[in-house]
Structure 1
Amino acid sequence: MKRSLTLLAVAVAAVAAGATWYAQSKNPLRDGELALLNLQAPVSVRYDSRGVPHIQAQNEADMYRALGFVHAQDRLFQMEMLRRLARGELAEVLGAKLVDTDRLFRTLGIREHADRYAKTFDRNSPAVKALQAYLDGVNQFQDSRPAPVEFDLLGIHKRPFTIEDTVSVAGYMAYSFAAAFRTEPVLTYVRDELGSNYLKAFDLDWHPGGAVAQSLSADDWKNLNSLAHLSQQALVEAGLPQFEGSNAWAVSGSRTASGKPLLAGDPHIRFAAPAVWYEAQLSYPGFELYGHHQALNPYASLGHNKQFAWSLTMFQNDDLDLVAEKVNPDNPEQVWYHGKWVDLQSREETIQVKGAEPVKLTLRRSPHGPIINSALGATAGKTPIAMWWAFLETENPILDAFYQLNRADSLGKARAAVEKIHAPGLNVIWANAGGDIGWWAAAKLPQRPQGSNPNFILDGSTEQADKLGFLPFSANPQEENPERGYIVSANFQPQSPSGAAIPGYYNLADRGARLNERLAQPDVKWDVHNSQALQLDDGTGYGPRLLKPILDDLRAAAADETERALVEQLANWDGNHPLESTAATLFNQLTYELANQAMHDELGDAFFDSLLQTRVLDSALPRLTADARSPWWDKRGSDAVETRAETVKAAWQASLAHLRQSLGADSSQWAWGKAHTLTHSHPLSQQKPLNLLFDVGPFAAPGGHETPNNLSHRVGPAPWSVVYGPSTRRLIDLADGAHGLGINPVGQSGVPFDKHYADQAQAYISGQYLPMLFDQAEVQADSNETLLLNPVK
């Protein structure tokens, strides 16, 4: 027995040692020396205590080549998954269940567009040369170092990353902005099947000229909703970043404690492990920047140095139209366009499927854009629905735009760079140490015919689906050095300088109004300390605004003293969402039940579920509670005509029943932090028990839907999982740009066994900030890890 136990102990020790060796072999190399092809001179990469690389090179190409190498050793699997998602290649490594997602992205035309667009690049332009050097660094890492553990688990074969991959990933990011795909089918259904009275809650103008002329069949409606669901599902299940909203503000020196401008920014993006941003400080003689980079992109999307800083929010302009085509009854491959039948274009593509036969696709295109019904395969409806998308239809030199923005130290240079961003629509908020602040809504804004309403599916057989051109950049919303001394951007509808309507799916004004109210205080001098409190604000005026018209109905619905006390908690609630709040829990459950009781019977399961995924629901609910005569209150299928009071009572009773079932009978235990949690999910966590290896969390989460600290969940029943929120929080006072503050929601590394995989997660949820180190002496004092990359001799 002793011999057997000894042998067992040896075997266990050997397995443990093997596992330790395997794990360590996957970790990034942050100390020592490596030879890199194509370097002209040695490059020093100092790592700080957060795992952020600080790259010092002698020239631009070496700097970007080194960035590609170190970015890949921390995030290669993220790069691989993003390019596969964007190009419709996930089924090749994840199997048949991803065929629908691949078919969707092939149908969108991102892959075909990227391959065609990349051929037009000037390979000798500075921006493209920088991209090529960066991709060379990525590929050299992939060729020379061990593959990530996820590659081993999925059997992924390494293949080079290309310019086409970078453009494809940019297309995915643009698509993740496009709310129209998930909103227009719902709104068109409400208009055409329920009627204009039901649209009043959404505050949309009634434009008969923009209607779909030919009627859609029941199968068409079913398939349109399936398309919206597939679009949302593809983004959710990919476990990859999706842009949702954002806060940013710039304060001029007259309003700051330091006398210099201050920039604050926190882009709101779907949470995932690893996080979206890769931080790096880049430098060579004449250039220095601390940047936040997306996978496969060498140019910082967010950045700062001692002279200037910028952040981004989503513009939310509607740059994607759905168009119902009229089919020739004698030829299903023709549609009516500009007074005649025209042929649809088509191309063939093949999806490789792991463990199954390849899937062949026939993808069609009308003069308005790709026929997106193809995404549904054999179940596509009879009416072809085309997609006009600015990303596919504009020149869009967005890579060159960010290359220039990374170097823009003056208002003029920043403005010129931003003008090159055509799609997706972005608000760029910028400041410099010279005292300037600026904001530009960057996008090519299409001019649509009079009466055309892109909130709805357009009729392709008329001119309502045409585009008459684009507005000049000078007509875009923008400000430079306003007299009030600050600029705030929070996804609300901007004011058009030309008076032209700018359709979009804008967020509620409540979040922006709350930020504006604080920033407008004349006696406050802003610094990085009170700016932290503003970024971490967990309140909103939305809740009290929605509740006010129905408080008497809620009081009447309360069945006993305990329920009456809960109603008074809501009546006295200030809209804040701290971890201990009961009112926040009760309000968010009631919000869902109000929508469910009022709207589910008219929309049915599928369209109601789609509505819950849209921003238009947020704007509809306060208008609904304020309108006692809205037709939504009446329950379809009953003989009686239900009133607002009766529907509110039903929502109240359903809310209490659900909270008692899910959180316990004692309402004092309905704390927000118990019901509202954040888990950073890895793309492979769908396969249990891999979630135990790769996921980070859960954490009790303050904040909520459309609060400044926008740790947001989807409208639905408790408990709530936080879906998206601040992807970083940054504060840069340009009186001391070398000492900005920031935080990563998870960690800098995407390698599961690495010490920096999740080392910032607790600090993030606790509202802490960490220094973004800039001076080399401080970096060296913070960590003793240095990787020296040498030219191959």
Structure 2
Amino acid sequence: MKPWLKRSLIATATLIALGVGSATWFVQQRLPQRGGEVAVTGLKAPVTVRYDEAGVPHIQAQNEADLYRTLGWVHAQDRLFQMEMMRRLSRGELAEVLGPKLLPTDKLMRTLTLRDEADKRAAALDSNAPSTQALQAYLDGINAFQDSHPVPLEFALLGIPKRPFTTADTLSVAGYLAYSFASAFRTGPVLTQIRDELGPEYLKAFDLAWVPDGAVAEGERQATAAGLPAATPASPKPAAALLKPADKQTLAALGQLSDSALALAQVPLFEGSNAWVVAGSRSASGKPILAGDPHISFAAPAVWYEAHLQSPGFELYGHFGALNPMALLGMNSQFGWSLTMFQNDDIDLVAETVNPANPKQVMVGGQWVELTERTETIKVKGQAPVTLTLRRSPHGPIISDALTTGREQSRPIAMWWTQLVAPNPAVEAFYQLNRADTLDKARQAVEGIHAPGLNVVWANTQGDIAWWAAAKLPQRPAGVNPAFVLDGSKGEADKPGFHPFSSNPQEENPARGYIVSANHQPAAATPAPGYYNLWDRALRLDRQLRDPTQRWTAATTHALQLDTETTYAQRVLKPLLPRLNELVKAPEEQALLQQLAQWPGRYDMELTAPTLFQQFLYDLAREAMADELGGDSQDGAAPTPFSNLRRTKALDHALPRLAADAHSPWWDKRDTPAKETRDDVLKAAWAATLQHLRATFGKDPAQWTWGRAHTLTHGHPLGQQKPLDKLFNIGPLPVPGGREVPNNYSGPLGPAPWAVAYGPSTRRVIDFAAPHKAQGGNPVGQSGVWPDRHYRDQAEGHARGETRPQWLAEEDVARQTASTLKLVPPR
């Protein structure tokens, strides 16, 4: 080798080594510190933080202020980037650090007025209230960590500046979480278009009526009846359609923006949930058993941060969200609770009528009323700032202003939202719920949760079990169905007030000995319109729990959380398989139909039937409905009403009804001169299903297994850019379960393969005979700091359905301590 070449190679190797060494040092400096002693500004006394084998901090403080300040500090060292992303998302500030592709998201968040409302409510907080003081101490702990440590890796890569976290940031994030439950932007516009353009006959497939006895009772009636009940009477077609073509384009774009733009930030979105509790009379231990697995979109890091808090007179093992010191899920030796989404409709979309002589006025209550206006500036990385004009009518913010174009052609669409008009003292409510060891205390705390709508399922060691639907339920004019876009000029959007909390759906110590909540429409005397999930999942859980001979244990409860069976497939296929057997003659295809006929509806990874059914379900919906609703647009394409509809629960409800109705007008294709029948659509959907599965997985149906077709990847914001996906994303992992089964690894209806979008964010089981043996888990890991050892250490186990102990007893915490960190006041 020539001397100059040798010297060059040595120099290059030296530079690479130095670069690798520098990069390693840079990353190591940013890993969480879980041992030693650290001085923290603001502490009044030393605090001990013991970390267990999963990286969960067990915090012992001598006073409440130090307890919450320490929680903020340790939460920040594991999740500061998540906190920053949640703050920026909720306040419409993502484009400043992620660039112009996040500008539509920022515009949407600004138009929702989350930022403005949070600022006002933060200024009005009672600084002497214990809940406010706890929140401020927690934020002080976050800021103390941020001020004393190098910026996280993501901050450095994206150029994110440090700035203090405030109470307004926390309230902005709370507003985003309330918004993330809403389905109105996807569902209301599509149903309105079907009503106005297609007519009542097309609406018969959609179940729009309130069921006073609740969806579980309705599901039992349908399951024992021959066929499906008669379709719900549809709302009559208005004399003149409310929405013009430009309005429909605006609403379709809003639906897609609401659904997809948020995914760019990889911030968890709340989707559904399971929770149930059995009384001591139904358990082997003689004490209540509480189970809960909130369904939230998957991301890295996961939504929950676990921590065990102890100070004089207070103890709680909690699951905490970013920038919130009040546990949203929690338990101790005396009580515990879980949450599901109520799914009540707390957002009305209102089409305003503009004064032809003055575009700044709209018709309200028979007279022209001025719109208010203000402007906000959005910073955009690499580009000039963007000025956004925000308008507001008496009904609420003009949400259509979130779109860059179309305002001149379409009428203003306002948004009435409980979150913006109810007092909603949620910080105080959850502060009290974290301490609610009696039925009366829990009920009183839950009454303070106005938005978002939540089902709180609660139990204690004294044997009480309860469920409350927590929400301010608005009073609406008689005959108004908020599933449609409302006419602001006719009083449809008027709200005389709110119903009292006492009329909300709720139960305390029911005689049946158990309570189940699974996002289904609950039984209630006072109707609560909403976007409820299918009743199949709730019915599956209810049927298992009602067995009077079963004495539940923690193990059998966890097994029910992992159940993968549903009756939904049978409901869809029952009227269709006889016709398909007549239409399909090829032996290989007959064998596939036989698989579907014998399939019990389990979504297990080794089976091929779930893959076949899910693809057929999509093709059936597309072949029947896409021609009326603008075709299907996949990600990145211009939105259509059908592409928004397939992301809603409304379509899930419609498909069994459609399948059973051979005379539905949906079967006829509008773009052909012939009149198609259900048989014609079935043949086309079946052929499309087989063609797609063969092209995607190969010609051998044995290779179409659910585990191959159905996978989970936890995405990180930086993981959207290759090759960073290999570093920051976690997965893909094959997972069982599916849409609306108890083990609800799920996503929108679409073509195979299916990337799971949301599912169990934790699986908790607490037997109150031994709460110190509670089980839980995290979908990825405690830490959001790559490549910390707790960044992804629970991912594979969670995908397999495994849980781990959530240590509560002192002897267990001491025995399981992996390291101890001492936080002390500055000397």
TM-score (norm 1): 0.98
Q: Provide the residue aligned with 2:54 in structure 1.
A: 50
Q: Provide the residue aligned with 2:285 in structure 1.
A: 258
Contact kept in structure 1, 2:242 and 2:487, CA below 8 Å: no
Give the letter aligned to residue 659 of structure 1: L
Q: Provide the residue aligned with 2:141 in structure 1.
A: 137
Decide which of 714, 723, 738 is 1:704's aligned counterpart: 738
Q: Provide the residue aligned with 2:509 in structure 1.
A: 481
Contact kept in structure 2, 1:212 and 1:459, CA below 8 Å: no
Partner Cα separation in structure 1 for residue 144 and residue 404 of structure 2: 39
* Secondary structure in 1 matching 2:731: strand
Partner Cα separation in structure 1 for residue 97 and residue 134 of structure 2: 30
Partner Cα separation in structure 1 for residue 678 and residue 607 of structure 2: 27
Q: CA deviation at 1:15?
A: 2.4
Q: CA deviation at 1:182?
A: 1.4
Decide which of 329, 333, 336 is 2:356's aligned counterpart: 329
1:681 aligns with 2:715: yes
Partner Cα separation in structure 2 for residue 235 and residue 415 of structure 1: 34
Distance verdict in 2 for CA 1:210–1:144, change over 3 Å:
farther
Contact kept in structure 2, 1:207 and 1:453, CA below 8 Å: no
Q: Provide the residue aligned with 1:595 in structure 2.
A: 621
1:196 aligns with 2:211: no
Q: CA deviation at 1:11?
A: 3.1
1:150 aligns with 2:163: no
Structure 1 segment 635-650 matched on structure 2, within 5 A: 635-650=669-684
Distance verdict in 2 for CA 1:664–1:56, change over 3 Å:
same
Decide which of 96, 115, 118 is 1:114's aligned counterpart: 118
Decide which of 552, 559, 581 is 1:533's aligned counterpart: 559
Partner Cα separation in structure 2 for residue 70 and residue 587 of structure 1: 46
Decide which of 162, 167, 172 is 1:163's aligned counterpart: 167
1:400 aligns with 2:428: yes
Contact kept in structure 2, 1:214 and 1:326, CA below 8 Å: no
Q: Provide the residue aligned with 2:662 in structure 1.
A: 628
Q: CA deviation at 1:273?
A: 0.4
1:36 aligns with 2:40: yes
Contact kept in structure 2, 1:39 and 1:62, CA below 8 Å: yes
Partner Cα separation in structure 2 for residue 280 and residue 204 of structure 1: 42
Distance verdict in 2 for CA 1:736–1:218, change over 3 Å:
same
Contact kept in structure 2, 1:213 and 1:459, CA below 8 Å: no
Decide which of 263, 271, 279 is 2:306's aligned counterpart: 279
Q: Give ranges in structure 1 of 5+ residues lacking alignment.
A: none
Contact kept in structure 2, 1:209 and 1:452, CA below 8 Å: no
Contact kept in structure 2, 1:212 and 1:457, CA below 8 Å: no
Partner Cα separation in structure 1 for residue 629 and residue 17 of structure 2: 60
Q: Provide the residue aligned with 1:301 in structure 2.
A: 328
Contact kept in structure 1, 2:200 and 2:235, CA below 8 Å: no
Partner Cα separation in structure 1 for residue 821 and residue 565 of structure 2: 44
Partner Cα separation in structure 2 for residue 215 and residue 571 of structure 1: 44
Partner Cα separation in structure 1 for residue 722 and residue 568 of structure 2: 38
Q: Provide the residue aligned with 2:295 in structure 1.
A: 268
1:551 aligns with 2:577: yes
CA RMSD across the alignment: 1.3
* Secondary structure in 2 matching 1:268: strand
Decide which of 566, 573, 576 is 2:599's aligned counterpart: 573
Partner Cα separation in structure 1 for residue 326 and residue 579 of structure 2: 54
* Secondary structure in 1 matching 2:575: helix
Partner Cα separation in structure 1 for residue 491 and residue 180 of structure 2: 28
Give the letter aligned to residue 196 of structure 2: D
Distance verdict in 2 for CA 1:309–1:712, change over 3 Å:
same
Decide which of 335, 338, 342 is 1:315's aligned counterpart: 342
Partner Cα separation in structure 1 for residue 135 and residue 174 of structure 2: 13
Decide which of 73, 83, 86 is 2:77's aligned counterpart: 73
1:423 aligns with 2:423: no
Decide which of 188, 191, 194 is 1:187's aligned counterpart: 191
Q: Provide the residue aligned with 2:25 in structure 1.
A: 21
Partner Cα separation in structure 2 for residue 598 and residue 208 of structure 1: 22
Partner Cα separation in structure 2 for residue 215 and residue 721 of structure 1: 37
Partner Cα separation in structure 2 for residue 514 and residue 342 of structure 1: 51
Partner Cα separation in structure 1 for residue 190 and residue 262 of structure 2: 18
1:502 aligns with 2:506: no
Sequence identity of aligned pairs in percent? 61
Distance verdict in 2 for CA 1:733–1:418, change over 3 Å:
same
CA deviation digits over 1:348-374, x for unaligned, max 9?
A: 100011111110011000000000111
Aligned length: 791
Partner Cα separation in structure 1 for residue 78 and residue 312 of structure 2: 26
Contact kept in structure 1, 2:302 and 2:780, CA below 8 Å: yes
Structure 1 segment 75-90 matched on structure 2, within 5 A: 75-90=79-94
Q: Pick which of 545-554 and 306-315 moved more.
A: 545-554
* Secondary structure in 2 matching 1:360: strand
Q: Provide the residue aligned with 1:240 in structure 2.
A: 267
Q: Give ranges in structure 2 of 5+ residues lacking alignment.
A: 210-232, 632-639
Q: CA deviation at 1:571?
A: 0.6
Q: CA deviation at 1:6?
A: 4.2
Partner Cα separation in structure 1 for residue 54 and residue 395 of structure 2: 48
TM-score (norm 2): 0.94
Q: CA deviation at 1:16?
A: 2.5
1:787 aligns with 2:813: no
Contact kept in structure 2, 1:176 and 1:235, CA below 8 Å: no
Q: CA deviation at 1:640?
A: 1.5
Structure 1 segment 363-374 matched on structure 2, within 5 A: 363-374=390-401
Q: Provide the residue aligned with 2:256 in structure 1.
A: 229
Q: Provide the residue aligned with 2:543 in structure 1.
A: 517
* Secondary structure in 2 matching 1:346: strand
Q: CA deviation at 1:213?
A: 6.2
Give the letter aligned to residue 257 of structure 1: A
Partner Cα separation in structure 1 for residue 20 and residue 393 of structure 2: 59
Q: Provide the residue aligned with 2:108 in structure 1.
A: 104
CA deviation digits over 1:754-775, x for unaligned, max 9?
A: 0000000011011111000112
Give the letter aligned to residue 125 of structure 1: A
Decide which of 709, 712, 730 is 2:764's aligned counterpart: 730
Give the letter aligned to residue 393 of structure 1: V
1:471 aligns with 2:499: yes
Q: Pick which of 552-561 and 470-479 moved more.
A: 552-561
